[in-house]
Amino acid sequence: MDADHLSQRLATVAKYIPKGSRLADIGTDHAYLPVHLLKRGLIAGGIAGEVVRGPFENAEHEIAREGFTDQLTARLANGLRAIEPTDQIDTVAIAGMGGALITQILTQDFDRLTGVQRLVLQPNVGAMQVRQFLMTHGFQLVAEEILAEDGHIYEVLVADRATETQTYHEEELRFGPYLLAAPNAAFIAKWQHEADRTREVLQQVQAAKTVPTEKVAALTHELAQIEEVLHRVGA
């Protein structure tokens, strides 16, 4: 992968960055996403944030090599601390991390999102936690995608500032309201795998000397919900 040849996963993230936006790509690694968008004239500029020195230097190098130092600044910083008010960032992308880390990054410096209208988030796992964050922090989902690539399944969640509070029920939080409405092969594969995994965990906890009843109840509930959805979508 490079800035000219994004993975399908990162190309899906790119698709939802509004044209002309000022983007902060948090956890940018090689800065392929913002450089890709700049090369095509699709963003005005922004910030490539990285917390680890090695990837930060990769980002700096890539930005200089492509001649974008005037439009795109690499910053070595933890999460949203890479964003300053003068950057006038209106869109934030966070891709390729777990949902727990994405949620932690967004909550720990939430005030830095002032002025941000869109979040494009690609959790590798734990999308439910990310949806819960969106619901409780004034953002509303506007699109979701799920795709399979190189043996992994990825979800991309796109959210805008909410005009009014959005409430998602448990099923929507777990499966995604847009993904539920248009389930594709990747959706079915993901949830078939999750059903198998949940069944296995359930068997293990039920075989324990002291059976943790609350955990058994939670897993049983989760499994029933997954099976119900799979049945509904004809899987």
Helix (H) or strand (E) holding 144: strand 139-149
The per-residue b/e assignment along 108-122, b for 16 or more CB within 10 angstroms, e otherwise, is: ebeebbeebebbbbb
Backbone φ, ψ for residue 226 (5° rounding):
-65, -45
The window from 26-34, 163-171, 185-193, 204-212 that contacts ligand SAM (CB under 6 A) reads 26-34
Q: How far is the CB of 1 from ligand SAM (least distance, A)?
A: 8
Distance CA(217)–CA(209), nearest Å, equals 17
What are the tokens at 193?
């795998």
Q: Which residues contact 38 (CB under 8 A, 6 or more apart)?
A: 45, 66, 68, 71, 72
Cβ proximity to ligand SAM, 101 vs 202, nearer residue: 101
The yes or no reply on residue 52 touching ligand SAM (CB under 6 A) is yes
Stretch that binds ligand SAM, among 24-32, 35-43, 110-118, 185-193 (CB under 6 A): 24-32
Q: Between 72 and 105, name the residue whose CB sits nearer to ligand SAM.
A: 105
Judged by CB under 6 A, the number of residues near ligand SAM is 17
Residue with Cβ nearer ligand SAM (124 or 225): 124
Binding track, positions 78-117, relative to ligand SAM; x by CB under 6 A: xx---------------xxx---x---x------------
Nearer to ligand SAM by Cβ, of 45 and 79: the residue is: 79
Out of 12, 29, 83, 121, name the contact with ligand SAM by CB under 6 A: 29
- Counts of helices then strands in the chain (DSSP H, E): 9, 7
Provide, rounded to whole angstroms, the least separation between the CB of residue 56 and ligand SAM: 8
Where helices occur in 97-212 by DSSP H, the ranges are 99-108, 127-136, 170-175, 177-181, 185-206
Radius of gyration of the chain (CA): 19
Strands 43-50 and 91-97: unpaired
Q: Among residues 50, 60, 87, 172, which is the contact residue for ligand SAM, using CB under 6 A?
A: 50
State the residues that interact with ligand SAM by CB under 6 A: 10, 26-29, 49-52, 55, 78-79, 95-97, 101, 105
